[in-house]
């Protein structure tokens, strides 16, 4: 069974704000940090200190790096490009598999993620945008915003398309199963390698620290840079009316999400890098998956968007030319 988006949902994010549970979404507080919500993310970071006692091994570091990139792909390709913007289609089983895999990143479920992201596009860099750097600064947009009452809540009315899937609703309400499964898997892997391949120098505790805590903490901040740095550092190809930027080195650490100004110009395409030289491996992997029928109907960049890009390029070139003429005249 295919998860088939409507044309409107493919092109633009949902725009209704609605309610979450019995409390009106607009009435939830988004200015004060709730101390009880700091504990989960702080505890994962604190687990990283375990490296003092468990040490490191090449296999543990390799697992941590692999899990970073695997889960970054899931966040980039599925949580963002699929669940938030529906830029391609897939089977229901694949949809759930990647939703479950995404929960191992400890960034809650796809419904929470998509609901907030759709609100971000609706109010980009305006006060309702919970993670805009202009409002309360880079640190707020990077980490603090989701520690508020509104930041922690799932905006169900913004994701009516996903509410019809009971398995996704169940996963959202039980999203801690992902981190629990990953911790368990790392402990078993480390114990197994310690027993059957002692020469690798690893064990269960070491693998939990590296494979879960360190990898997840780095993944957090890699993901969060798009909320903070991709709205402060970089270039703007398009005049989108917000502070979104294109930044090639953010694209490197997020598998293509750094082309954020491109994305804000046209969020309805599966591509973030609009040109072949713009590093976007998440799109390349999705393209390969489409050859095997796992995903399909990948939405391209429309010709009109490329026309706007060429027009913007010509305007910049003309502006540089005028600036040089003024400089020569002043000399």
pTM over 0.85: yes
Let me know: does 254 contact 274? Beta carbons within 8 Å: no
| Count of structural domains, the chain | 1
In a domain, 325, yes or no: no
User: Residue 4 pLDDT > 80, yes or no?
Assistant: no
Q: Over the stretch 257-281, which tens digit does the pLDDT of each residue have? A: 999 999 999 999 999 999 999 999 9
Q: 40: domain range?
A: 2-300
Q: Give the separation between CA 109 and CA 171, rounded to whole angstroms.
A: 7
User: Residue 128 pLDDT > 80, yes or no?
Assistant: no
pLDDT at 148: 86
Average pLDDT value for the chain: 88
Higher pLDDT, 79 or 157: 79
In a domain, 97, yes or no: yes
Q: Over the stretch 238-249, which tens digit does the pLDDT of each residue have? A: 998 888 999 999
In a domain, 322, yes or no: no
First to last CA, the chain: 70
Tell me the backbone φ, ψ of residue 204, rounded to 5 degrees.
-60, -45
In a domain, 330, yes or no: no
In a domain, 77, yes or no: yes
Q: Is 265 exposed, middle or buried (0-12, 13-18, 19+ CB in 10 A)?
A: buried
What integer is the mean pLDDT of 315-319? Answer: 76
In a domain, 218, yes or no: yes
**Residue 327: pLDDT band with limits 50, 70, 90:** low
Let me know: does 58 contact 240? Beta carbons within 8 Å: no
In a domain, 312, yes or no: no
Higher pLDDT, 323 or 113: 113
In a domain, 254, yes or no: yes
Q: Over the stretch 148-194, which tens digit does the pLDDT of each residue have? A: 888 899 999 899 999 999 999 999 999 999 999 999 999 999 999 99
Lowest-confidence segment of 70-79, 138-147, 228-237, 256-265 by average pLDDT: 138-147
Q: Give the separation between CA 107 and CA 271, rounded to whole angstroms.
A: 23
């Amino acid at each position: 069974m295919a998860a088939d988006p409507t044309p409107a949902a493919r092109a633009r994010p949902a725009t209704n704000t609605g309610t979450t549970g019995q409390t009106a979404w607009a009435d939830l507080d988004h200015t004060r940090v709730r101390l009880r919500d700091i504990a989960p993310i702080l505890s994962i970071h604190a687990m990283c200190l375990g490296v003092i006692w468990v040490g490191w091994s090449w296999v543990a570091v390799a697992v941590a790096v692999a899990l970073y990139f695997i889960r970054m792909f899931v966040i980039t390709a599925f949580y963002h490009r699929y669940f938030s913007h529906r830029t391609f289609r897939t089977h229901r089983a694949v949809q759930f598999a990647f939703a479950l895999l995404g929960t191992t990143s400890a960034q809650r479920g796809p419904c929470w993620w998509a609901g907030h992201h759709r609100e971000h596009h609706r109010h980009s860099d305006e006060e309702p945008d919970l993670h805009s750097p202009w409002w309360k600064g880079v640190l707020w947009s990077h980490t603090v915003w989701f520690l508020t009452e509104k930041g922690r809540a799932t905006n169900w009315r913004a994701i009516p398309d996903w509410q019809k899937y009971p398995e996704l609703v169940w996963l959202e309400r039980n999203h801690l199963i992902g981190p629990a499964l990953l911790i368990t898997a790392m402990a078993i892997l480390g114990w197994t390698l310690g027993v059957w391949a002692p020469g690798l120098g690893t064990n269960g505790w070491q693998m939990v620290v590296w494979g879960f805590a360190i990898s997840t903490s780095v993944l957090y901040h890699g993901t969060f840079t798009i909320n903070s740095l991709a709205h402060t550092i970089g270039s703007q190809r398009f005049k989108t009316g917000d502070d979104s930027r294109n930044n090639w080195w953010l694209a490197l650490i997020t598998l293509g999400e750094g082309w954020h100004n491109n994305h804000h110009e046209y969020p309805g395409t599966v591509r973030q890098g609009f040109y072949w030289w713009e590093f976007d491996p998440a799109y390349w992997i999705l393209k390969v998956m489409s050859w095997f029928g796992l995903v399909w109907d990948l939405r391209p960049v429309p010709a009109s968007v490329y026309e706007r890009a060429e027009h913007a390029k010509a305007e910049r070139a003309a502006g540089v030319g005028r600036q040089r003429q003024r400089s020569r005249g002043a000399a």
